[in-house]
Amino acid sequence: MAGQTLYDKLWSEHLVKNRDDGSSLLYIDRHILHEVTSPQAFEGLRLAKRKPWRTDTNIATTDHNISTDINERKGGVSGIPDKTSQIQVKTLNDNCTLFGIREFQMNDPGQGIVHVMGPELGATMPGMTVVCGDSHTATHGAIGCLAHGIGTSEVEHVLATQCLITKKMKNMRILVDGELAFGVTPKDVILSIIGHIGTAGGTGYAIEFAGQVFEEMSIEGRMTVCNMAIEAGARVGMVAVDDKTIEYCSNREFGPNKSQIDYAIKSWRNLRSDKDAIFDKEVTLSADDMEPQVTWGTSPEMVCSVTDKIPNPKSFESVDRQKSYDSALKYMNLRPGILMTEISIDKVFIGSCTNSRIEDLREAAEVVKGRQVASSIKQALVVPGSQMVKSQAEREGLDKIFKRSGLEWREPGCSMCLAMNSDKLNPGEHCASTSNRNFEGRQGNGGRTHLMSPSMAAAAAIFGRIADVRQITQGNQ
Amino acid sequence: MVNSITTHTGIVAPIDRVNVDTDMIIPKQFLKSIKRTGFGQNLFDELRYLDVGYPEQNCSSRPLNMKFPLNQERYEHASILLTRKNFGCGSSREHAPWALEDYGFKVLIAPSFADIFYNNCFKNGILPITLVDSEVEFLFEKLYSTENFSLCIDLVNQSVKSNFGEEFEFKFIIDSFYKDCLIQGLDEIDLTLKDREAIKKFEKQREKICPWIFGAIK
Ligand code: SF4
């Protein structure tokens, strides 16, 4: 019999039963809640007079709607400028109190974007099944757990039964070997992958990222990669457990205690695909020729190297593709054939669950240090992913570097990733963004998003246009 | 309780583009609601209206984008949506199927759907049907050349049929689990809680293997 993949192992360890109708009942170890996708689930529980199956498995925080402005934040819930946002945040607070769920409220030291906060507190651990009403839950797979997004009905279902009704996905492995060149980051790796397999390339699969590049990557970097598995169409992204995972996951607040840790580590060591495991689909890419990536369109697959020109839609065979590329260029107000580095930038956003961890902020600070944001930039935000990241960055003096260079230092939250709070693009503005989605209107109505790495976004802030970060940082070396 | 579907006949409306994401289906500002209903008036808000919508607004006097199919008289009573590949991609918001359902759509037809969205449809009484590219193309052609183009959907026999005029029939594949859920309109939580004992037993076992997962968060 062939060996098992990491996904197969995680699946079978959590399988309560296969049902007659072809679906399966999967046990859920950790459930993370936030204010946007939970109110209707709690309402459902209340209406049906149900209680959560277990409370010690749920953890909640508020991130999407809250203000990241330092002064507004001081005003607490009532300091949130938008009334409907206030209601949503307050509803989460009330529901958590009512149902006895541990919540990190807006200004608590543990608060942060759900996918930054979870691993950092040790609320998510290797070997767990993790769900959250948010598609970027795949992030947590970076530490060798099975994590994916669920809808609000499923949030209610998990609250009430501790299980998810689901079907087993297929196995896919993305193998990237070789060395990443100077200036090429985990964000560039995942954008290259998406450019290669397309936004539906992983649909129906659980992706395991394997190979030298991921082995050498930090846990933070792996999170950036797994985070965007969903942009490659897959609900699940994973990396096998290794020494780095174990080091990262030991000594976390909600992780195993002293008497449990040795035993835990022993079991985590098994969380990797067997050598003879068979994948339904394999994609192999070489790291050697990867360059810093930037998106030019309205889907993450519309991406190219910073040194490239915007492609001509006519150069693609499929008519579907021609049409969607055409309309993307129209929306972005860009012409085929111009160099990526000719695109002017109005705003810069460094943050989101993709790129707001300490390593990302260090990377961006390195670029802006001793330089000034271009005068044409209307706003440049740096938004740490959590309170813990924020304090760490402040201990290292990164906040001062950013402020001195003319970037704003904000409070943790989703911020300009999705325009549900006050951080938004205005119609027509181009944004250099470290987030994960460049859909029409994602960062604000009519806003135009260019996805890139933190160092590339920092370089864009300095030049006022898309710029090749390697030209700046080479000099730093 | 989910609405059940066995057969459905209705007018078809087109959204002729690929990769329609959930933000297009229901823009993020409407996610601030704490209710499940009332999203229909904001379905495809940015494509449908010429101004920017906000939650709980009276939409009856907003300027309409008359180029958008749902604003055209011929599609006024549409309950079947015909679209292109990877429909429902992007954020996992269940507000997308809520909005489609609230507007009156019962059936969606496309060459492919995004995973989470596909799943969410069944939980909200919407039937997403996957047909091959050429069949979808055929339906688009028919739709554009036929007034009041409508289709008969038969979930039990898994077929999409012409409602009048030229006869055609396309079979579709659907998971028996999803099919049963829709036909019976089942409450999934009740169904799962029938396995209460199995879950408890599993949980005890799990606590033995991974004690650190239990009682950690207080
Ligand atoms: S940062 Fe963006 S992608 Fe991440 S959870 Fe928040 S809104 Fe979603």
DSSP B113: B
CA A449 to CA A440: how far, in whole Å? 8
CA A190 to CA A174: how far, in whole Å? 10
CA A206 to CA A188: how far, in whole Å? 21
Q: What pLDDT shows up at residue B22?
A: 94
The mean pLDDT value for B102-126 works out to: 93
Model confidence at A1: pLDDT above 80: no
Q: What pLDDT shows up at residue B181?
A: 82
Q: Is B206's CB within 8 Å of A65's CB?
A: no
Q: Is A274 on the interface with B (CB under 8 A)?
A: no
Gap from CA of A127 to ligand 1 centroid (Å): 24
Q: What pLDDT shows up at residue A387?
A: 98
Q: Find the CB nearest A324 among B17, B31, B202.
A: B17
pLDDT in tens, A414-456: 999 998 899 999 999 999 999 999 999 999 999 999 999 999 9
CB count within 10 Å of CB B131 equals: 20
Q: Find the CB nearest B216 among A19, A56, A82.
A: A56
Query: Taking CB atoms and an 8 Å cutoff, what residues of chain A touch B32?
Result: 36, 65, 82, 84-85, 87-88, 420
Residue of A nearest to B193 (CA): A161
Instruction: Provide ipTM, 2 decimals.
Output: 0.94
Domains of chain B are: 7-186 (3.20.19.10)
Gap from CA of A439 to ligand 1 centroid (Å): 13
Q: Is B192's CB within 8 Å of A165's CB?
A: yes
DSSP B49: B
* φ, ψ (nearest 5 deg) of residue A206: -100, 125
Instruction: Compute and round to an integer the Cα radius of gyration of chain B.
Output: 20
Query: Taking CB atoms and an 8 Å cutoff, what residues of chain A touch B213?
Result: 29-30, 57, 125, 128
The mean pLDDT value for A35-63 works out to: 94
Q: For residues A406 and A374, is the Cβ–Cβ distance under 8 A?
A: no
Mean pLDDT of chain A: 96
The mean pLDDT value for B9-38 works out to: 92
Q: Is B217's CB within 8 Å of A437's CB?
A: no
The mean pLDDT value for A455-465 works out to: 98
Q: What is the pTM of this model?
A: 0.91
Q: What pLDDT shows up at residue B2?
A: 62
CA A349 to CA B80: how far, in whole Å? 39
pLDDT in tens, B139-163: 999 999 998 999 999 999 999 999 9
Per-residue pLDDT band for A19 (boundaries 50, 70, 90) equals very high
Ligand 1 pocket test target in A417, A436, A437, A438 with most atoms within 8 Å of CB: A417
CA A170 to CA A288: how far, in whole Å? 28
Angle, CA B131 vertex, CA A8 and CA B96 arms, to 5°: 75
* φ, ψ (nearest 5 deg) of residue A416: -75, 10
Gap from CA of A122 to ligand 1 centroid (Å): 19
Ligand 1 atom having least distance to the Cα of A385: 1
Model confidence at B165: pLDDT above 90: no
SS3 of B128, please? strand
SS3 of B111, please? coil
Q: What pLDDT shows up at residue A475?
A: 58
CA A438 to CA A449: how far, in whole Å? 5
The per-residue b/e assignment along A49-79, b for 16 or more CB within 10 angstroms, e otherwise, is eeebbebbbbbbbbbbbbbbbeebbeeebeb
CB count within 10 Å of CB A108 equals: 12
Percent of chain A's residues with pLDDT above 70: 99
The mean pLDDT value for A18-31 works out to: 93
Model confidence at B80: pLDDT above 90: yes
Closest residue CA from atom 6 of ligand 1: A414
The mean pLDDT value for A168-185 works out to: 97
pLDDT in tens, A84-138: 999 999 999 999 999 999 999 999 999 999 999 999 999 999 999 999 999 999 9
Residue of B nearest to A443 (CA): B28
Q: Find the CB nearest B94 among A21, A152, A161.
A: A152
Query: Taking CB atoms and an 8 Å cutoff, what residues of chain A touch B55?
Result: 84
Question: Best of B130, B183, B208, B213 to disrupt the A interface by mutation (most A CBs within 10 Å)?
Answer: B213
In chain A, the N- to C-terminal Cα span, in Å, equals 52
Among candidate residues B166, B42, B150, B52, the one with its CA nearest the CA of residue B98: B42
Residue of A nearest to B92 (CA): A135
Total residues found in chain A within this entry: 477
DSSP-H helix ranges across B34-114: 45-48, 95-103
CA A30 to CA A100: how far, in whole Å? 15
Per-residue pLDDT band for B174 (boundaries 50, 70, 90) equals very high
What 3 state SS string does chain A have? CCECCHHHHHHHHHEEEECCCCCEEEECCEEEECCCCCHHHHHHHHHCCCCCCCCCCEEEECCCCCCCCHHHHHCHHHHCCCHHHHHHHHHHHHHHHHHCCEEECCCCCCCECHHHHHHHHCCCCCCCEEEECCHHHHHHHHHCCEEEECCHHHHHHHHHHCEEEECCCEEEEEEEECCCCCCCCHHHHHHHHHHHHCCCCCCCEEEEEECHHHHHCCHHHHHHHHHCCHHHCCCEEECCCCHHHHHHHCCCCCCCCHHHHHHHHHHHCCCCCCCCECCCEEEEEECCCCCCEEECCCCCCCEEECCCECCCHHHCCCHHHHHHHHHHHHHHCCCCCCEHHHCECCEEEECCCCCCCHHHHHHHHHHHCCCCCCCCCCEEEECCCEHHHHHHHHHCCHHHHHHHHCCEECCCCCHHHCCCCCCCCCCCCEEEECCCCCCCCCCCCCCEEEECCHHHHHHHHHHCECCCHHHHHHHHC
Mean pLDDT of chain B: 93
Shortest alpha-carbon distance between residue A136 and chain B (Å): 8
- Pocket (CB within 6 angstroms of ligand 1): A 63-64, 113-115, 134, 136, 352-353, 414, 417-418, 435-436
Which structure tokens are listed for A29?
Answer: 């170890």
Per-residue pLDDT band for A48 (boundaries 50, 70, 90) equals confident
Burial of A5 (0-12, 13-18, 19+ CB in 10 A): buried
